[in-house]
Amino acid sequence: MAAEYRLRLFENYRFVLYAPFYAAHALGAYAEEGLDVQLLPSPGPGRAEAALVAGEVEVGWMGPIRLMKQHDEDPNSPLVAFTEVICRDPFSLVGAHPNPNFRLAELPGLRFASTSEVPTPWLCFEQDLREAGIDPARVDRLIGRTMPENVAALADGSLDVAQMFEPFVEQAVAAGAHVWLPASARGRTSYTVFVTRRDRLAADPEPFRRMARAMYRTQRWLAAQPPEAIADTIKDYFPDLDHGVFSRALARYQGQGVWSTDPIVSEEGIARLRRALLGCGFLKRDVPFTECVDNTFAEAAVKG
């Protein structure tokens, strides 16, 4: 099908987590909907949102943390999520030794490193601690080191446990570490969504309607495929990653239910994330779901 519509899309990071985004391109899901989606490098957090507001691109993918922050600071922000792709927290606590009965209450006595590359994992984990009756300030955490550095520290015994996601979880496990607690176990936590301007949805709805349909097509494909097939399909996006590690990483995400199986932005997932962001003071007000989400096209895609 010839492309009838075009959208420019910001790619904020290239992570294994984002397999659904790359699968949509690799499978030709957008083309099947008569849509040409141009994948562009993002200028980075903050600047990407500003570029979306300014109309320099039509779509970005980002964590709802950034979207809600925009609305926290400006209730009239035009930005809105219209498709969910990552619906659970992809990070795990990985320990240097086996600990199958790990409890959060153990953490204050351990050498622990939190993720430094992005803020959401620690902010969400802080809420897990609070809900378990643990003051996050009691946790003596190491900050500022990269996930590869923490993989090495687990292996050399200088660290007890670290917070990380794929492919670093699989790399750590291959080096002798053990997964203690996947954050996905807490339940729905909206993690990555497609975002555009609300006025664009109203004035020119068709490309966004097709984008939601294409993502739903991709989500159904992902749910039905073995990890090796997913890895083969999107391997060109990760040419330097060991194929075995890649496949195992995808298998772990698939097994944890990290990827949304439909494009509808979960109100439960947004509420859980918002609760964490309010609890740590990242948000100053309770940003309403309907202020920052429009599920019109996602719901239509599911209904068919």
Mark whether 253 and 274 lie in a shared domain.
yes
Residues 81 and 97 in one domain: no
CB-based burial, 93-122: b 16+ in 10 Å, e otherwise: bbbbeebeebebebbbebbbbbbbebbbbb
pLDDT, tens digit only, all 304 positions of the chain: 567 899 999 998 899 999 999 999 999 999 999 999 999 988 877 788 889 999 899 999 999 999 999 999 999 999 999 999 999 999 999 999 999 999 999 999 999 999 999 999 999 999 999 999 999 999 999 999 999 999 999 999 999 999 999 999 999 999 999 999 999 999 999 999 999 999 999 999 999 999 999 999 999 999 999 999 999 999 999 999 999 999 999 999 999 999 999 999 999 999 999 999 999 999 999 999 999 999 999 999 999 8
Question: What pLDDT is stored for residue 46 in this prediction?
Answer: 79
d(CA 168, CA 3): 38
33: CATH: 3.40.190.10
Question: Do residues 207 and 288 both lie within one domain?
Answer: yes
Same domain, 151 and 260: no
Q: What is the pLDDT of residue 1?
A: 55
Do 193 and 289 reside in the same domain of the chain?
Answer: yes
Show the tokens assigned to 51. Answer: 């570029």
Q: Do 204 and 285 share a domain, yes or no?
A: yes
Q: Which two tokens stand for residue 86?
A: 């990552």
Q: Tell me the C-alpha distance between 294 and 274, whole Å.
A: 17
pLDDT at residue 3 in the model: 72
Whether 177 and 221 map to the same domain: the answer is: no
The C-alpha atoms of residue 18 and residue 35 are separated, in whole angstroms, by 20
Residue that finishes a domain, picked among 162, 186, 210:
186
- Number of domains, the chain: 2
Residue-range definition of the domain harbouring residue 270 = 5-88+189-303
Please check whether residues 162 and 30 belong to one and the same domain: no
| Spatial contact of 226 and 120, defined as CB atoms under 8 Å apart | no
**Tell me, what's the pLDDT at 170?**
98
| CA dist list (Å): 252 to 15, 89, 179, 207 | 14, 12, 11, 32
Q: For residue 88, what pLDDT is reported?
A: 98
pLDDT recorded at residue 43: 84
Residue 16: name the closest of 243, 214, 173 by CA.
243
CA 127 to CA 94: how far, in whole Å? 19
Among the candidates 169, 186, 203, a domain finishes at: 186
Residues 182 and 193 in one domain: no
| 204 and 268 share one domain | yes
CA distance linking residue 72 with residue 284, whole number of Å: 7
Verify that 128 and 150 share a domain, yes or no.
Answer: yes
Q: Does 101 lie in the same domain as 80? A: no
Closest listed residue to residue 14, CA positions, set 260, 269, 236:
236
Q: Which pLDDT does position 82 carry in this prediction?
A: 98
| DSSP SS3 for 81 | strand
Domain end (from 136, 154, 186): 186
Residue 137 per-residue DSSP state: G
